[in-house]
Amino acid sequence: MRVVIAEDNALLREGLVLLLTSAGHEVAGVAATGPEVLPLLLEQRPDAAVLDVRMPPGFRDEGLRAALAARAALPGLPVLVLSQYVEEAYAAELLGDGARGVGYLLKDRVGRVDEFLDALERVAAGGTALDPEVVRELLARRRDDPLDSLTPREREVLELMAQGLDNGTIARTLVVTERAVHKHIGNVFAKLGLPPNDGGGHRRVLAVLAYLDA
């Protein structure tokens, strides 16, 4: 996989380069400031991009803006955004651009190498990878709606679905059977007024995120 990295922190940037190359991926280019990101992505057209949200010169949303611009210029470009904190508005904006091939992780997730690489590969394959804290923020902002009708177990299943996990992984995480997970998913879609679709974790996640972002 060819990856472009955009990160202003030199230590983290070099750590990402080492991590990805050690895992057998090719780092096609690196950017340290916001204005560098879009030209680099357009030149390299990587299989995926790993971008920090806040970058020089303004340290506001330069990385996110570059990600949105790149996805507009290169439709379907997989983007995994890194952030120091849960920034709900940024997460919602990225997801509003279309959930296919997008991820939003907190930076401390990078230290969990297997989780980070799994998330990047899932995003590159067109899936979704959301940090559990981001999922909880998105769920928490919708209080006066059908989410209130979900049972605690159904909310757990919804959170795990939104993280991009499949039925088998959800079952192992919750220590239940896949049949039980399938039933909970059906209940979730019914209560949220979403068409049940068990044709794969990716489409279920897209439907959930579309509802949360409505």
Using DSSP's 3-state secondary structure scheme, residue 48 falls into strand
Contacts for 8-16 with beta carbons within 8 Å, 24 or more apart?
Answer: 8/32, 8/33, 8/52, 8/55, 8/56, 9/52, 12/107, 12/110, 15/110, 16/50, 16/110
Where do the H-state alpha helices sit in the chain?
10-22, 34-44, 62-73, 88-96, 113-124, 132-140, 152-162, 167-174, 178-192, 201-212
Predicted local distance difference test score (pLDDT) of residue 24: 96
154 contacts: CB under 8 Å, gap ≥ 6: 184, 187, 188, 191
pLDDT of 212 higher than 60: no
Instruction: Write the pLDDT tens digit of every residue in 75-110.
Output: 889 999 898 876 666 666 666 655 678 888 888 877
How many residues can be counted in the chain?
Answer: 214
Determine the Cα–Cα distance for residues 131 and 162; give it in Å rounded to an integer: 9
Using DSSP's 3-state secondary structure scheme, residue 131 falls into coil
Confidence grade of residue 16 (pLDDT, cut at 50, 70, 90) = very high
Pairing state of beta strands 102-106 and 48-52? Answer: unpaired
Asked if 32 contacts 7 with a C-beta cutoff of 8 angstroms, the reply is yes
Pairing state of beta strands 102-106 and 128-130? Answer: parallel
Encoded tokens for 21: 């190359």
Domains (range + CATH), the chain: 2-136 (3.40.50.2300), 142-212 (1.10.10.10)
Confidence grade of residue 163 (pLDDT, cut at 50, 70, 90) = confident
More confident residue, 207 or 150: 150
Using DSSP's 3-state secondary structure scheme, residue 155 falls into helix
Confidence grade of residue 213 (pLDDT, cut at 50, 70, 90) = low
Model-level pTM?
Answer: 0.69
Predicted local distance difference test score (pLDDT) of residue 76: 85
Instruction: Write the pLDDT tens digit of every residue in 48-65.
Output: 999 998 889 888 888 888
More confident residue, 159 or 210: 159
What sign does the dihedral 27-14-121-34 (CA atoms) show? negative
Q: What is the mean pLDDT of residues 5-17?
A: 94
Determine the Cα–Cα distance for residues 49 and 96; give it in Å rounded to an integer: 18
pLDDT of 44 higher than 80: yes
Q: What is the mean pLDDT of residues 118-124?
A: 92
Instruction: Write the pLDDT tens digit of every residue in 167-201.
Output: 899 999 999 999 999 898 888 877 776 655 544 45
